[in-house]
């Protein structure tokens, strides 16, 4: 024994890879991304005439339906990232996509990312549930220990979404990437397995029908349920 400090022992069995299977919630369904979704996605993109939703993505906006179709075909063929199309039950149309990515079974680490939601889907119950379905799949069904969220440091909506979901900010990698010809700093967030049950409960409580009035407005805010959770343990009272 060297006497030098080392990390705690963990259960080191590699975690399963995600499968290309659907997930269904109360307000939204996730379908493995396929070429058949391209037309709906192109129509969804037309709701963003200025292209703001693509600002911090590594691709888009797309010049025409053919370019969108080509991108969807390429994305659907990948296994990491693994993409799902987002179909809100209210509209019945596919209005976005998201993925599980940087999948590391041996380290029990996985990331939720490549999140693109059309303006019609953004800031809705369905949008939050779409993310929750994949978070729950990764942590509960597959047993991953570390769930990651990362974004361009300038992307304030993404940073706010991470905190709202209970992710803890870890820090920033400076000059981390070049995206669309521009230098990008990347901020990392995470949820660990011992933190997940409290987040799962908070998000599930917010999504529960009992939290929603007849006007479709939540009685309690999700940020109110998770703000304290999104602080590092050393910062909490």
The reported pTM is: 0.94
CA distance 110 to 82: 11
CA distance 97 to 41: 9
3-state secondary structure of 223: helix
Contact assessment for residue 124 and residue 88, using Cβ atoms and an 8 Å cutoff? yes
Contact assessment for residue 182 and residue 58, using Cβ atoms and an 8 Å cutoff? no
Q: What is the mean pLDDT of each run of 10 residues along the chain (237 residues)?
A: 90 96 98 98 97 98 98 98 98 98 98 97 97 98 98 98 97 98 98 97 96 89 82 52
CA distance 33 to 20: 9
CA distance 150 to 102: 11
pLDDT for residue 236: 46
Write phi, then psi, for 85 (nearest 5 degrees): -85, 145
CA distance 100 to 33: 12
Write phi, then psi, for 223 (nearest 5 degrees): -60, -35
CA distance 127 to 38: 19
Helix, strand, coil distribution of the chain in percent, nearest 5: 35, 25, 40
3-state secondary structure of 164: helix
pLDDT for residue 233: 54
Closest to 166 measured CA to CA, from 115, 130, 202: 202
- For the chain, which residues make up each domain, given as ranges? 23-230
pLDDT for residue 224: 87
In order, the DSSP letters of 32-76 are: E--GGGHHHHHHHHTT-TT-GGGTTSSS---SSHHHHHHHHHHHH
Q: Which CATH code fits 23-230? A: 3.40.630.30
Which letter does DSSP use for residue 234 in this model?
A: G
pLDDT for residue 3: 87
């Amino acid at each position: 024994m060297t006497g030098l400090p080392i990390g705690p022992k963990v259960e080191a069995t590699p975690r399963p890879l995600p499968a290309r299977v659907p997930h269904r919630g109360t307000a939204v369904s996730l379908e493995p991304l396929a070429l058949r979704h391209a037309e709906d996605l192109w129509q969804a993109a037309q709701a963003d005439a200025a292209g703001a939703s693509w600002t911090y993505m590594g691709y888009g906006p797309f010049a025409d339906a053919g370019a969108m179709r080509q991108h969807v075909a390429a994305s659907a063929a990948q296994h990491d990232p693994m993409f799902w199309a987002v179909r809100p039950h209210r509209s019945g149309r596919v209005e976005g996509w998201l993925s599980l990515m940087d999948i590391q079974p041996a380290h029990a680490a996985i990331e939720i990312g490549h999140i693109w939601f059309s303006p019609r889907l953004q800031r809705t119950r369905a949008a939050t549930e779409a993310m929750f379905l994949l978070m729950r799949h990764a942590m509960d069904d597959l047993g991953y220990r570390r769930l990651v969220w990362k974004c361009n440091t300038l992307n304030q909506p993404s940073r706010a979404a991470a905190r709202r979901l209970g992710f803890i900010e870890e820090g920033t990698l400076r000059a981390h990437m070049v995206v669309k010809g521009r230098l990008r700093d990347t901020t990392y967030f995470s949820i660990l397995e011992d933190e997940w049950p409290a987040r799962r409960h908070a998000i599930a409580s917010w999504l529960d029908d009992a939290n929603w009035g007849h006007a479709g407005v939540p009685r309690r805010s999700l940020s109110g349920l998770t703000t304290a959770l999104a602080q590092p343990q050393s910062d909490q009272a």
